[in-house]
Structure 1
């Protein structure tokens, strides 16, 4: 009676390791591991794009629009019969929260928006194409990265990234 050797061959072990490696790669990629810098840049680009869209929408519709910002969230409003109403007709204009770990400060027409002036935390988009001048600064909680979204009275909205040359 001949005994069969027990255990795994080297080839079998290599195949299992390759399969585990491929599976682990897919898991890591699906988690979407993004740095604070990437999250901050994405949010700043989103805000700048939505504000530019709101400015264009105000001109196209011939209506006054605004973005209300409270430090942790923002939403878009439309002036309807002398009252500001939340824009709900399209999912684009839904209220959005800033990602955890981001700090933000809004300065409108040269005035920093503090909790005492919470009702004044509006950036206006006029049907003429003008907007209320503003600067929104976004930074990560460690204060390593900073992005700005700036708007001038003529309606130009820009997204800027502050670079740290010191590394």
Structure 2
């Protein structure tokens, strides 16, 4: 009679315990990011894109712009006498995560005030009038508020990237000052900026 070969129940349990212990040693990243991590990632992404746009404008001798809405931002290119959205990655417009918002400040003023838009030569007045009937978010994204010029200059700006709900409030600051590179500041670094 042949003897059956196999594992005993104790051997199987021992292997399961060892595998369970090894798995517990490995840290799996959380499937959902903390608000701080999410805002930091979005602020770093925006900073990298503005710096890349500045390089592209300089290398390709193009006039680019950044338009900022509350829930998204768009990069635009000045071609054929009008501003056109850039539709190729990495500059393609994507909405922000649900609880992340943007606030653009130019010259220390919130962009919600009508300034600059009528005094800039690169604005197509007919298109501006045609867009007047669009919702505010679409209208804001039709023309740049931040100019990224082929000379390497960037119009100065502050963009607050904020996560705000009932429990948590986190704000990173993306700041551009006349030329690239643009910098991102976490909440602790912002305290040093104010001093």
Corresponding residue for residue 100 of structure 2: 102
Corresponding residue for residue 3 of structure 1: none
Corresponding residue for residue 118 of structure 2: none
* Distance (whole Å) between structure 1 residues aligned to residue 25 and residue 162 of structure 2: 31
Secondary structure (helix, strand or coil) at the match of 2:186 reads: strand
Deviation at 1:10, TM superposition (A): 4.6
- Asked if 1 retains the 8 angstrom alpha-carbon contact of 2:76 and 2:143, the reply is no
Would you say 1:141 and 2:164 are equivalent positions? Answer: yes
Seen in structure 2, the aligned counterparts of structure 1 residues 70 and 121 have a Cα distance that, compared at 3 Å, is farther
Q: How big is each residue's C-alpha offset from its partner over 1:14-69, in whole Å with a ceiling of 9 and x where there is no partner?
A: 4224445666887x726644211111111111100100111111111111001122
* Distance (whole Å) between structure 2 residues aligned to residue 148 and residue 61 of structure 1: 28
Residue-pair matches, total? 155
Corresponding residue for residue 37 of structure 2: 38
* Distance (whole Å) between structure 1 residues aligned to residue 143 and residue 89 of structure 2: 25
Would you say 1:113 and 2:111 are equivalent positions? Answer: yes
* Distance (whole Å) between structure 2 residues aligned to residue 126 and residue 84 of structure 1: 13
Corresponding residue for residue 151 of structure 1: 176
Runs of 4+ in 1 over 4 A off after TM superposition: 8-11, 20-26
Secondary structure (helix, strand or coil) at the match of 2:147 reads: strand
* Distance (whole Å) between structure 1 residues aligned to residue 41 and residue 98 of structure 2: 13
Seen in structure 2, the aligned counterparts of structure 1 residues 97 and 18 have a Cα distance that, compared at 3 Å, is farther
Secondary structure (helix, strand or coil) at the match of 1:133 reads: strand
Would you say 1:13 and 2:13 are equivalent positions? Answer: yes
Which ranges of structure 2 fall in alignment gaps of 5 or more residues? 1-7, 113-135, 190-195
- Asked if 1 retains the 8 angstrom alpha-carbon contact of 2:68 and 2:102, the reply is no
TM-score under structure 1 normalisation? Answer: 0.77
TM-score under structure 2 normalisation? Answer: 0.67
- Asked if 2 retains the 8 angstrom alpha-carbon contact of 1:103 and 1:138, the reply is yes
Which ranges of structure 1 fall in alignment gaps of 5 or more residues? 1-7
